[in-house]
Amino acid sequence: MVGGAARIPRRCPGVRHHRGRVRYGRAVGYVVATPVFEGPVDLLLHLVTSHEVDVLDVPLAPVVDAFLAELAGHRDEMALDTLSEFLLVAAILLELKSQRLLPGPDQVDDEEELVGWEERDLLLGRLLECRAYAGAADAFVVLSERAARSVPREVGLDDGFVVHAPDLLAGVGPEVLAQAYLRASAERPEPQVDLAHVTVDTVTVSETLVELVERLPRWGRASFRDLTAHLATRMEVIVHFLALLELCKLGKVVLGQGETFGDLRIEWVEEERLLAAVGAGGLVSEYDG
């Protein structure tokens, strides 16, 4: 299992299929024949990680057909969410396909290549982050199921205690009560928020890369957790992760992971030492080939 490749390879045909759980078309009301998925993000993940299917080979037509068939069956109750999810899936597929179809520059130096990747990095970061939250959601279920086994006492006072009936209703008139009833019973109006207001996390991979190139030689060895301990947002952590992958590809660091989901170990390597490390089989990545 412990392979001999020095870097995280760009294509790793031997990697086992990693999707732990396949959920069958729950959120999106329709099911596409081959890749069964849940929601646009999962579909996307499935498509881009499935080695049997290249993005280029996924025809859009069956996806559309399946969706239209579903739509015909549930014309009345098809939720807006479902429609928008479908649009998103279709748009992402189109984007992926167009990216693949357009010819890329033959030879680019690393810097230019990195700049070109920024957009993709954001998407990738988002995918990774969503994956992490999906994992966290599973953990919430486990935690809450465990917590639910303990039932709290919510009985309150025994009889016979003198509660010096403070007038908790001081200042509450009939109107206030009527307003409270309205608040409690009325369907609350939901303000529409313009998506343009979104504040986007703006750390870029290339900036982080530069920062890491300055920091890492001083650290020598580091664990991913230590390296990212000071970061405030999850996005920054993910961007650091992506930057490390780039550094790995550039041969500046060796990444190792003792076990799946174990902490990532990072080692800064000078060119000569890198070769030595490879020669000694010091690589720990879990890849074949």
Partner 1 sequence: MTDEELSRALEAVLLVAVEPVPPGLLAELLEEPAERVDAACQRLAEGYLAAGRGFVLAKVAGGYRFQTHPDLAPYVERFANRDVSHRLSTAALETLAIVAYRQPVSRAQISNLRGVNVDGVVRLLEQRGYIEAVGRAEGPGQPVLYGTTDLFLERLGLDRIDQLPPVEDFLPGAEVAAELEEGLRPTAGGVGDAG
Q: How many residues belong to the chain?
A: 289
Contacts of 277 (CB under 8 A, 6+ apart): 6, 254, 267, 269, 283
Comparing CB distances to partner 1, the nearer of 69 and 108 is 108
Residue 31 binds partner 1 (CB under 8 A): no
Q: How is residue 146 written in tokens?
A: 């465990």
Comparing CB distances to partner 1, the nearer of 180 and 210 is 180
In the Cβ-directed half-sphere of 124, how many Cα atoms lie within 13 Å?
18
Q: Which stretch binds partner 1 (CB under 8 A): 69-77, 78-86, 213-221, 268-276?
A: 78-86
Q: Choose, by CB under 8 A, the member of 133, 217, 221, 279 that binds partner 1.
A: 133
Residues 203-222 within binding reach of partner 1 (CB under 8 A)? none
Q: Are strands 221-223 and 253-257 parallel, antiparallel or unpaired?
A: unpaired
Q: Which stretch binds partner 1 (CB under 8 A): 61-69, 70-78, 128-136, 209-217?
A: 128-136
Q: Tell me the sheet residues that pair with 223.
A: 265
Q: What is the DSSP letter of 255?
A: E
Residues 228-287 within binding reach of partner 1 (CB under 8 A)? 228, 233-234, 237-238, 241-242, 245, 249, 255, 257, 260-261, 264, 285-287
Residues 156-195 within binding reach of partner 1 (CB under 8 A)? 156-158, 161-185, 188-195
Q: Smallest Cα–Cα separation from 44: which of 110, 117, 123, 102?
A: 123
Q: How many chain residues bind partner 1 (CB under 8 A)?
A: 134
Lay out the sheet containing 221-223: strands in order across: 221-223, 264-268, 253-257
Residues 39-58 within binding reach of partner 1 (CB under 8 A)? 39-41, 45, 47-49, 55-56
Q: Tell me the sheet residues that pair with 222.
A: 266
Residue 120 binds partner 1 (CB under 8 A): yes
- Block residue for tokens 């990444």: 255
Indicate the residue type of 225: R
Q: Which stretch binds partner 1 (CB under 8 A): 23-31, 61-69, 212-220, 275-283?
A: 23-31
Q: How far apart are CA 254 and CA 209, in angstroms?
A: 15
Nearest approach in angstroms of CB 82 to partner 1 is 9
Residue 226 binds partner 1 (CB under 8 A): no
